Chains A and B, each alone.
Chain A
């Protein structure tokens, strides 16, 4: 793309960032309490909730990390995508009704709030908050790094020239913080709707663009990849069957443990709306995931055949494809939507992270929240974003790998406690605490000590298996717990 095209893309992104600032200011006027800031006043309609759910999953991880993984390892990472629709089904079947009812009954503003009601335990609330905070750092770092990577690529294609990644992280941090601090979750969910629509259309257009980019279209792409390496285009890609299936497990069962997704289920205006929210989420996600697949395969074929020079990093697959092979307006549209995806998901993470710090941890330690929660929520948002930005710069991981770590941390810690525990009266608080602690030990231990697991089985999947086993085992060996009458009544519905 020449400098003119590069500027068209840059202008699209700048215009979009301007819109985000406007949405943030608009949402600022609507945000009057911490309930508005964290739960959007529990007033979201069908379409907004549906788009908010799928946009939360399809974030910078999906649009930058996903195509990068397909480029790097062939079809392997598609198991994350293939697992997500079934995972969303599990979330809705097991939690859609239950979590919404409990949230309304107990007037909860966060996931640990609902967990504390279910288990009647402040220790479980505390541990869940810690797990959420740790996962937020990994996942939020992914979003900021994805945003900075894309920005670096866009600016590099203009006469401004290449900026270093630290500068791009700083710019991303500034816009993100302004948007999140002012608007809270309201800004995020309304941006999700615009982003969702743009993403679905853009994914279909990019998919068409991919078929015209390469000689013989999609057939040519698969032929080139297959000739170079038959395994890359097989269902297991280069990673192999066991690694792929561990991702499938993590993204199917683990989906219902993602706090940024399931808290959206607590925000709908009417409980009955969730019957329509599920199809919107699954279809929307699957359509946008075409971008993950098509760009990744196209870039792999282009590089193998020598039509495109080798990428400097794996994460550059999506930005480079869009800039080199699509019309500047389409590229601008996708980049704008990509920023929207990143910002709204990051907003969701900042939201649950700040809720954990200023609402849940003080509640579990002192029995009450901080005074002036709204002010502290905004202050904490800035601090979390700053820490996550540093994590993004200095962790040295790829966007997608950090994303998988965050996803795995949430899944292993929260699936037993929330997904199973909210449906199984036999589950005890002690089992929940043990499951969270063991999941964090396995997940963070393997990351910290760089333990290599055979067959590239994902550490998050092992942590999830361990925590589920411990959760079931301890609950079955313990005396059945005495539940709060109201909680029991909701679990019977």
Chain B
């Protein structure tokens, strides 16, 4: 749908008036029309990413209920961080002087919270690996499968 909106001038930035290898973005006004579309696009992406992770721990198409909470909580936190960044950016458009740790607040949220957040899912993967990803019995089943597969060609010979 976004592709059918009339694109405002300079929405992709423009050349710096003095430095030919630099671009400028101008003011945040160029985002008035697209900010909320962008927010929806971002939220859908985050949801898709978390659904992918949940899909990864499904076994035979089913997901034990006790596991899904871990991902719902993680997904909700991830979404909240993203939305905080969107709202603080809206404020930044009006007042670019608001800083946190020497960065504009939305940029700080992006770098210090959104970027490292996937470590939550990394931890879940590493800590619950033997219970949720690959159990001992899976390894044994797989070993049997490999042995039977290797026997088949020998029998055919």
A residues whose Cβ falls under 8 Å from a Cβ of B: 71-75, 78, 81-82, 85-86, 88-90, 92-94, 96-97, 101, 104-105, 218-219, 222-223, 226, 228-243, 245, 248-249, 252-253, 271-272, 274-276, 278-279, 282-283, 286, 293, 300, 303-304, 310-311, 313-314, 419, 423, 425, 453-457, 486, 489-490, 492-493
Q: Sample 11 A-B pairs with CB under 8 A, ordered by A number.
A: A222-B99, A226-B96, A230-B104, A234-B107, A235-B107, A239-B12, A241-B34, A272-B134, A275-B133, A282-B122, A454-B2
A457 touches B3 (CB 8 A): yes
Partner of A82, one of B2, B55, B114: B114
A73 touches B102 (CB 8 A): no
B residues whose Cβ falls under 8 Å from a Cβ of A: 2-3, 5, 7, 11-13, 16, 19-28, 30-31, 34-35, 37-38, 41-42, 45, 48-49, 52-53, 55-61, 85, 89, 92, 96, 99, 102-104, 106-107, 109-111, 114-116, 118-119, 121-123, 125-126, 129-130, 133-134, 138-139, 141-142, 145-146, 149
Known A75-B107, A219-B102, A231-B27: A90·B49 in contact at CB below 8 Å: yes
CA distance A93 to B59 in the complex (A): 12
Measured CB to CB, the closest approach of chain A to B125, in angstroms, equals: 5
CA distance A212 to B62 in the complex (A): 54
B31 touches A241 (CB 8 A): yes
CA distance A241 to B22 in the complex (A): 18
B125 touches A278 (CB 8 A): yes
Measured CB to CB, the closest approach of chain B to A200, in angstroms, equals: 16
Known A235-B85, A241-B35, A242-B2: A229·B25 in contact at CB below 8 Å: yes
A486 touches B145 (CB 8 A): yes
B49 touches A231 (CB 8 A): no
B55 touches A423 (CB 8 A): yes
B20 touches A310 (CB 8 A): yes
A253 touches B149 (CB 8 A): no
Partner of A231, one of B25, B38, B56: B25
List residues of chain B with CB within 8 A of the CB of A279.
122-123, 126
List residues of chain A with CB within 8 A of the CB of B25.
74, 229-232, 234, 236-240
Partner of A310, one of B5, B21, B121, B129: B21
A238 touches B2 (CB 8 A): no
Interface SS of chain A: helix, strand, loop or mixed? helix
List residues of chain A with CB within 8 A of the CB of B20.
310
List residues of chain A with CB within 8 A of the CB of B56.
90, 92-94, 423
List residues of chain A with CB within 8 A of the CB of B30.
231, 240
Report the nearest B residue to A73, measured CB to CB: B23
Report the nearest B residue to A75, measured CB to CB: B107
Measured CB to CB, the closest approach of chain A to B44, in angstroms, equals: 9
Partner of A92, one of B5, B41, B125, B145: B125
B141 touches A493 (CB 8 A): yes
A240 touches B22 (CB 8 A): no
A240 touches B13 (CB 8 A): yes
CA distance A278 to B119 in the complex (A): 10
A235 touches B106 (CB 8 A): yes
Measured CB to CB, the closest approach of chain A to B133, in angstroms, equals: 6
List residues of chain B with CB within 8 A of the CB of A71.
21-22
CA distance A311 to B114 in the complex (A): 31
Report the nearest B residue to A456, measured CB to CB: B12
Known A276-B126, A423-B55: A81·B115 in contact at CB below 8 Å: yes
A492 touches B19 (CB 8 A): no
A101 touches B7 (CB 8 A): no
B12 touches A240 (CB 8 A): yes
CA distance A275 to B122 in the complex (A): 9
CA distance A313 to B3 in the complex (A): 31
Known A81-B115, A282-B119, A455-B7: A490·B142 in contact at CB below 8 Å: yes
B3 touches A245 (CB 8 A): no
A94 touches B52 (CB 8 A): yes
